Amino acid sequence: MLSLRAINQFYGQNHTLWDVDLDLMPGSCTAVLGQHGMGKTTLVNCIMGYLPVNSGTMTWQEKNAPPRDLNLQPSEQRAGMGIGYVPQARHIFSQMSVEDNLMIALKAARSNGPLAIPPMIFDLFPHLYDLRHQRGGDLSLDQQQQLALARALVLQPKLLILDEPTEGMSPWLEEDMGNLLRCLNHQYGMTILLLEQRISFIRRVADYFLLLHRGRNVATGRVAQLDEGMINKWLT
């Protein structure tokens, strides 16, 4: 699906990512862990094309298709390739209706073909159907998070990237989010890359983990291998 090798990135003279490797297998859920400021969002911004990669390779390959160099794809085309992204700040259009927020995502990524909201969106988020004519800024915070997710899913991506999806959530909303991600992962076969701080949430939804410290891979493996020693050393 997506393979990163020896990714290096700089902010001016600051070396922010150091030879980062990452493999996302189709249908898997991978969590990227690390304290704040350790390079998680920088890594995602490189994948999305918002930041340049100074060296290293990013290879995107779908089933029965030749590999593609993601570094050569403009950022505005990556959603159309099948990469959905939900940023930490949500970035919904507060003055536009729920329906218009979804339609603008379709229009931005598709230059041709029908522009129709897939039925799965309102199957997954039935409350958004009832609120489809309401302004995004009038929604509650959890409804805005649902809208941000729905906007990424409207293109039915093959890879969904989420940056801190449980931030500020109550325990019961966190449980709903976990159920949703497991549904997308297991029932829809969607590959998920998750940037997250809550270890209990990661253990519930993720298959694999990558731990970043000061922009470097310091541990990687299956989530079952994420033990208290790693957590105490790198995350507290």
Tell me the pLDDT tens digit for each residue of 200-221.
999 999 999 999 999 999 999 9
Partnered with residue 212 across adjacent β-strands are 217
pLDDT band at 116 (very low <50, low <70, confident <90, very high): confident
Outline where the chain has alpha helix (H). 40-48, 78-81, 98-109, 119-124, 126-130, 141-153, 171-186, 199-205, 228-234
Domains of the chain: total: 1
Is residue 169 pLDDT above 90, yes or no? no
Is residue 168 pLDDT above 70, yes or no? yes
- Looking at residue 133, which CATH number applies to its domain? 3.40.50.300
Residue 86 and residue 161 in contact, taking contact as beta carbons nearer than 8 Å: yes
Which residue range forms the structural domain that includes residue 51? 2-234
> Rounded to two decimals, what is the model's pTM?
0.90
Compute the distance between CA of residue 158 and CA of residue 83 in angstroms, rounded to an integer.
6
Tell me the pLDDT tens digit for each residue of 4-29.
999 999 988 899 999 999 999 999 99
Residues in the chain: 236
